Amino acid sequence: MSLDRLIDKIIATQNPTVVGLDPKLEYVPEFIKKKAFCEECENLKGAAKAILKFNKGIIDAICDIVPAIKPQAAYYEMYGHHGVKTLAKTIEYARQKGMYVITDGKRNDIGATMEAYATAHLSKVKVGEEILEPFGADALTVNGYLGTDGISPLLKVCKEEDKGIFVLVKTSNPSSGELQDKLIDGIPVYEVMGRMCEKWGEDLRGKYGYSAVGAVVGATYPEQLKELREKLPHTFFLVPGYGAQGGGAADVAKAFDKNGLGAIVNSSRAVMCAYQKEGCNEEEYAVAALREVIRMKNEICSHIGKIGV
Amino acid sequence: MSLDRLIDKIIATQNPTVVGLDPKLEYVPEFIKKKAFCEECENLKGAAKAILKFNKGIIDAICDIVPAIKPQAAYYEMYGHHGVKTLAKTIEYARQKGMYVITDGKRNDIGATMEAYATAHLSKVKVGEEILEPFGADALTVNGYLGTDGISPLLKVCKEEDKGIFVLVKTSNPSSGELQDKLIDGIPVYEVMGRMCEKWGEDLRGKYGYSAVGAVVGATYPEQLKELREKLPHTFFLVPGYGAQGGGAADVAKAFDKNGLGAIVNSSRAVMCAYQKEGCNEEEYAVAALREVIRMKNEICSHIGKIGV
């Protein structure tokens, strides 16, 4: 009913990072695409097959070193329902390998519909006499623009099924401030949203003090990251924007508490495309991803020290 | 590059309503479920098959009377990738029947990822040498919490492929005011968002004066609906909350301009479950849906008069 399962894995691996699997087809090595297109033709099914193969290779390489993956729903939806099947298969595979899975869907809606999203991504659905798991992630990113009744169905699932959510608070993109930095009674919108996270998570706190309701706070705004870490003591942060988007290790270090807990830092492109950056043989893409994952872990940990109470 | 294609259909049918296809399995008549489960077993594939059959029956019944459908992504994701396939097939079928399709996904993300969502839901993706349409809706609902760079990729698609978006402004749910009614320099958040819609749509206006960037404004807040109709003259409204959620015809009438344009009113449950409410034979579900659609059209039109300039 909290994020303890994730935090346990972070402590066990001494690695507060998550690998974002946002697989544009152009990130997938040619040898994988060639084989998939040969088996399925150049179509959405072929693309989805190539992406699944690519993802599995990365998961195999990193699963003992990295606690979690974060597949971004958009890049799977881009390949239609075949792509969405690859999302489901990627989640299943990573969980089999012991990884914690955060589906990055930024879902949001009114209560009744949010219940459907909660069921889809974190829970189980009844079909006739059968109880089935549509996607089965451990956590889901969500958008709180609709307020409490759009979040409540998720809290129920978090409690009953030991799942988590991450609510968008201060996002990493250049124009995030257009709304999020505006002041409401002297308090920025992102902080208003952050305080709502504290409230939503009040009854869902775990052994480390962090609740099931996390927040997305971008590495590209280190001052806000620091400020929010102090103001939201029970809210665990998912931190995008490290690496390609411009956030450095010293920036993301501000997301952590004195025990090296309180946050998990995401890297997507730098890991998926490590083989391109290295210029190594594309058949080594998974090993190159592993090298980047270790580099990132070491860089971030050098700023935060030993992780755990 | 505007919402003219939708508005043309509204004028042609003299019907400013959209049918929400949010098919929970419990809404689907037993005879359809029984047949689908018999063919596919009681699993996600069987559920998806039943829902597609149900949707097609409703589309067949209403396609000459109603200009648009609005499938809600959550209810398809609830049945896994099979459900998402049914979403794609539902969109395809409705478009073949000449209907305008608004996918209600409330998607949102940073620019690069929003580009993937725009491609997925409104545009085409390149796979090898092939150009393929993953979902192919006419419009998509989105959430603007991330600001301009999270919306820009959609504007590009709207312009190039004559598509539309509807941005959440004032949602219909009870707690929408928690954030949306808060004041920023004396202006409520929903109006700040509404003004952003006007700005985003500036270069995408069509022959009726409305742009490709619409807004979601709930029927459950008639005062705000009236106020926003006056303040956002180029923003077309998608109005949920009529019927089951409590909004009446006099309420939704406030969403329209003096020409009976400016809005489209959604009804989901009342149409899908008309046969349950009527207590008629479940095999008549599609005819019952048609009866409800005509009732709704007449009720709303009695408040707004003839539609069109």
Cβ(B58)–Cβ(B289) below 8 Å? yes
pLDDT at B247: 87
Burial of B111 (0-12, 13-18, 19+ CB in 10 A): middle
Residues 6+ apart with CB under 8 A from B147: A173, A175, A176, A177, A178, A179, A180, B196
Taking only residues 122 to 161 of chain B, the set having a beta carbon closer than 8 angstroms to any beta carbon of chain A reads 125-130, 132, 134-135, 143-150
Question: Tell me, what DSSP letter sits at residue B36?
Answer: H
Residue from the list A78, A134, A193 with its beta carbon closest to the beta carbon of B79: A134
Element of type H or E holding A198 = helix A189-200
User: Kind of pairing, strands B130-132 and B125-127?
Assistant: antiparallel
Distance CA A98, CA B223 (A): 52
CB-based burial, A259-278: b 16+ in 10 Å, e otherwise: ebbbbbbbbbbbbbbbbeee
Question: Which value, to the nearest 10 degrees, does the dihedral of the CA atoms of residues A147, A148, A149, A154 take?
Answer: 110
End-to-end CA distance of chain B: 20
Is B113's CB within 8 Å of A24's CB? no
From chain A, the residues in CB contact with B106 under 8 A are 107-109, 143
How many angstroms away from the CA of A100 is the closest CA of chain B?
A: 19
Which residues does chain B have with pLDDT short of 70? 1
From chain A, the residues in CB contact with B184 under 8 A are 182-184, 189
Backbone angles phi, psi at B213, to 5 degrees: -100, 100
How many angstroms away from the CA of B232 is the closest CA of chain A?
A: 18
Distances (CA, A) of A183 to A223, A244, B180: 16, 29, 13
Nearest to residue A167, comparing CAs of A179, A155, A184, A183?
Answer: A155
3-state secondary structure of A188: strand
Backbone angles phi, psi at B298, to 5 degrees: -65, -40
Cross-strand bridge partners of residue A145: none
pLDDT at B191: 98
Cross-strand bridge partners of residue A130: A127
pLDDT at A243: 84
Nearest to residue A204, comparing CAs of A148, A154, A168, A238?
Answer: A154
Whether A106 is a known active-site residue: answer yes
pLDDT at A63: 98
Distance CA A153, CA B7 (A): 35
A56, A85, A89, A106: the catalytic one is: A106
Locate tokens 């009527």: which residue? B278
pLDDT at A158: 98
CB-based burial, B34-66: b 16+ in 10 Å, e otherwise: eebbeebebbbbbbbbbbbbbbbbbbebbbeeb
Cβ(B118)–Cβ(B150) below 8 Å? no
The answer, for B78 touching chain A at a CB cutoff of 8 Å, is: yes
Cβ(B6)–Cβ(B100) below 8 Å? yes
The answer, for A308 touching chain B at a CB cutoff of 8 Å, is: no
Backbone angles phi, psi at B132, to 5 degrees: -125, 150
The answer, for A189 touching chain B at a CB cutoff of 8 Å, is: yes
From chain B, the residues in CB contact with A130 under 8 A are 42-43
Locate tokens 């399962």: which residue? A5
Locate tokens 């004041």: which residue? B183
For chain B, strand residue ranges (E) read 17-21, 68-71, 100-107, 125-127, 130-132, 139-142, 164-170, 183-184, 187-188, 213-217, 237-239, 263-267
Question: Tell me, what DSSP letter sits at residue A74?
Answer: H
Average pLDDT, chain B: 97
Distance CA A193, CA A199 (A): 10
pLDDT at B236: 98
Distance CA B165, CA A133 (A): 31
Level-2 CATH architecture, domain A4-303: Alpha-Beta Barrel (3.20)
Level-2 CATH architecture, domain B4-304: Alpha-Beta Barrel (3.20)
User: Kind of pairing, strands A125-127 and B125-127?
Assistant: unpaired
Question: Which conformational region is residue B256 in: left (phi greater than 0), alpha (psi within -120 to 50 degrees), or beta?
Answer: beta
pLDDT tens readout for residues B131-189: 999 999 999 999 999 999 999 999 999 999 999 999 999 999 999 999 999 999 999 99
Distance CA A233, CA B276 (A): 49
Cβ(A219)–Cβ(A225) below 8 Å? yes
Distance CA A95, CA B79 (A): 20
- Which ipTM value was assigned to this complex? 0.97
From chain B, the residues in CB contact with A175 under 8 A are 146-150
Is A87's CB within 8 Å of B81's CB? yes
3-state secondary structure of A64: coil
End-to-end CA distance of chain A: 20
Cβ(A8)–Cβ(A16) below 8 Å? no
Distance CA B226, CA A56 (A): 53
Provide the residue ranges of all domains of chain A, joining segments of one domain with +: 4-303
Distance CA B110, CA A170 (A): 12
From first to last of its 309 residues, chain A has per-residue pLDDT tens of: 689 999 999 999 999 999 999 999 999 999 999 999 999 889 999 999 999 999 999 999 999 999 999 999 999 999 999 999 999 999 999 999 999 999 999 999 999 999 999 999 999 999 999 999 999 999 999 999 999 999 999 999 999 999 999 999 999 999 999 999 999 999 999 999 999 999 999 999 999 999 999 999 999 999 999 999 999 999 999 999 998 788 899 999 999 999 999 999 999 999 999 999 999 999 999 999 999 999 999 999 999 999 997
pLDDT at B113: 97
Residues 6+ apart with CB under 8 A from A190: A169, A170, A180, A181, A217, A224, A228
